[in-house]
Amino acid sequence: MKSIELDYSNAKNFISDEDIKNLLPLLKNAHDNLHTGNGLGSDYLGWMDYPINYDKDEFEIIKKSAKKIQNDSDVLIVIGIGGSYLGTRAAIDMLGHNFRNNIDKKERRTPEIYYAGNNISSSYILDLFDVIGDRDYSINIISKSGTTTEPAIAFRIFKDHLEKKYGKEEASKRIYATTDAKKGALKQLSDKKGYEQFVIRDDIGGRYSVITPVGLLPIAVAGFNIDMIMEGNKDAREEYMNEDVYKNDAYMYALCRMILEQKGKDIELLVNYEPQLQTFSEWWKQLFAESHGKNQKGIYPSSLNYSTDLHSVGQYIQDGKRIMFETVLNVKKPRKDLKIILDEENLDKLNYMANKSVDYVNHKALEGAMLAHTDGQVPNLMINIERLDEYNFGKLIYFFEKACAINGYMMDINPFDQPGVEDYKTNMFALLGKPGYEDKSDELKERIKGI
């Protein structure tokens, strides 16, 4: 039995065998281009074979460094943005306690994990210093260049604080840099200061990088089994290599998305029924938005947390514009479960559920919403996940990465670049007065007068 499985039976009113058959030549071409390296962005295919050719020596150093951080730190600050932190947070949230940082360290046994450099909020940074207090902490700075604005600001501030707290020599032993192997400001600083370093490979883009040192170090610090993550990633590589779409769920997911878009479904809602999957949805949104949102193409990726959002935007999904479809992440076996007790007074009228598990009720909410929404012409895809553990995290990451790449090639776009991301940065640098942007600065200041 597959531990991750796609079910598109609740979208068959929109996806016919004929629809699938018509796209098979396009799928075969995409498969061939991806696996021969003849497609767009082929310099960024390192993630495909990473589960079998990763640096085993570096992997062991990651585990050794994680043990050191666990032994000498109460807190780890992970500094990064986008792909440099979203996958990490997705893993730790998915695999850990819902209130991980709030439970007693004796039960948690590993450092609290917090994130910085993913925004430009002074209040956030100062609040984070309040949380750290006088406790021992370490930093994992993740940046290929070392000059990306948000993490660079955060790192400058936290590095200064760390050096004042411990002295420069000891601070250097508490800073772990995940960066370029040869060049860049962070690489230069790390060499000078003697930081422990891990490599961001040139052939793996940020949003495809979680199961590399980018994510593996903080995930290991949080106490999770990175060997099992790699095992799941490796097995997924093998499973999703099959050209036959009926034996490759990642390819079928890519095909279903394309068929639904052709039929006017321009928004995909990734739906979860477990709060632990909320951050995973954020990683997924970046993966598909940054990979496909170019040349005026691409499905808009959004996400919802059920049953919570059924009480807020559920009305729109049921009766609003018919421009969306749902992809439901269904966790078959919860990490924990409990039963609803019998109450003699029964004022809340819940005794009909007595002795049933909360997870059972959760799955009935899933089934009820799926039936209602499909009746309302919102097709549903379902991805069944056996359980939320390290193995399935590694596998699920590869599932979506492979589907995203194949889908992009079928759309005739490069799923590995992000040219539009630079536009806001150019404007921001000009408005900040960065050297070299003087002409642009004058133009923009004139445009924003009165705002």
Active site residues: 290, 425
Nearest 5 degrees, angle CA 133-CA 166-CA 149?
A: 75
Residue 331 CA, distance from chain mean position:
17
Per-residue CA distances from 149 to 98, 121, 434 (Å): 31, 12, 12
- Long-range residue pairs from 254-257, CB within 8 A, at least 24 positions apart, any chain: 254/27, 254/403, 254/404, 254/406, 254/407, 254/410, 255/20, 255/23, 255/27, 256/6, 256/8, 256/11, 256/15, 256/381, 257/299, 257/403, 257/407
Question: Which of these, 167, 397, 379, 188, lies nearest to 277 by C-alpha position?
Answer: 397
**Strand order from edge to edge, sheet including 380-387:** 4-7, 380-387, 324-333, 267-272, 300-305
CA dihedral 41, 43, 47, 53 (to 10 degrees): 160
Q: CA-CA distance, 279 to 360, in Å (whole number)? A: 24
Helices vs strands, H then E, count in the chain: 18, 10
Q: For the chain, first and last CA: distance in Å?
A: 58
Residues with Cβ within 8 Å of 320's Cβ and at least 6 positions away in sequence, in order, are: none
For β-strands 380-387 and 196-199, DSSP reports them as unpaired
**Alpha helical stretches, state H, 247-389:** 249-262, 278-292, 314-319, 358-375
Q: Which of 197, 190, 115, 185 is nearest to 147 (CA)?
A: 185
